[in-house]
Amino acid sequence: MSHPQPPKPAKLVIGFFLKEKGLGIRVVKTLTDKYGAVDLASSWFPFNFTSYYYDEMGTPLFRRLVAFKQLIHQASLADIKLFTNNLENEHSIDGKRMVNIDPGYLLHERFVLATGKNFSHRIHIGKGIYADLTLIYTKGGFEPLPWTYPDYASENIMTFLKQVRKKYMVDLSFIKSDRENIK
């Protein structure tokens, strides 16, 4: 028989893409005001895996990911997604988003993104938000799944997430004695 176990705290990772990198600075400032200091940030890289967003956001688009120092409770992901949806709306012009924000969390064995869209592989986590198992960590690296978005399956993102995972493992070793440091 299995016994309920409390979930481990998670590393908050938020990815976003946009046309104007200057807006990215303002977005990160708002996110750090809400979730604390950034631990690691990826470099900017082209978002050219799909043209789906070009009509709404323009082109060229650039992607960046940031990981936060403060660990989070996994159950807070729905609220974080609702916050980032509101942030997207604040930066919309005439109903068109200027930034697309993808919050998620990283654990030692997986990377999960939040979405408002249901699908067969997504699990409802409350408030109309679903958890998307995006990548799994196995055999020393992240592995995409059949439904993983192509940009999250890219070498750029998986390399960055490996760095975040290393830092997360260090963070876990420090919190064993101090559970108060989790939001």
The pLDDT value given to residue 35: 98
Report the pLDDT averaged over residues 32-41. Answer: 97
Q: What's the token pair of residue 149?
A: 């978005």
Rounded Cα distance, 130 and 118, in Å: 6
The pLDDT value given to residue 180: 52
Report the pLDDT averaged over residues 112-124. Answer: 97
pLDDT-based confidence at 177, cuts 50/70/90? low
The pLDDT value given to residue 55: 96
The pLDDT value given to residue 30: 98
Report the pLDDT averaged over residues 46-73. Answer: 96
The pLDDT value given to residue 176: 65
| CA-based nearest residue to 129, from 159, 151, 105 | 105
pLDDT-based confidence at 174, cuts 50/70/90? confident
Provide the CB-side half-sphere exposure for 73 (13 A, CA): 9
Rounded Cα distance, 123 and 30, in Å: 28
The pLDDT value given to residue 181: 55
| CA-based nearest residue to 15, from 135, 97, 137, 100 | 100
Q: Which residues contact 88 (CB under 8 A, 6 or more apart)?
A: 97, 99, 100, 101
Rounded Cα distance, 95 and 29, in Å: 23
- Average pLDDT of the chain, as a whole number: 95
**Structure confidence by residue, pLDDT tens digits, 121-163:** 999 999 999 999 999 999 999 999 999 999 999 999 999 999 9
pLDDT-based confidence at 175, cuts 50/70/90? confident
The pLDDT value given to residue 12: 98
pLDDT at residue 4 is higher than 90: yes
Q: Which of 15-19, 36-40, 174-178 has the lowest mean pLDDT?
A: 174-178
Report the pLDDT averaged over residues 45-73. Answer: 96
Q: Tell me which DSSP letter residue 28 carries.
A: H
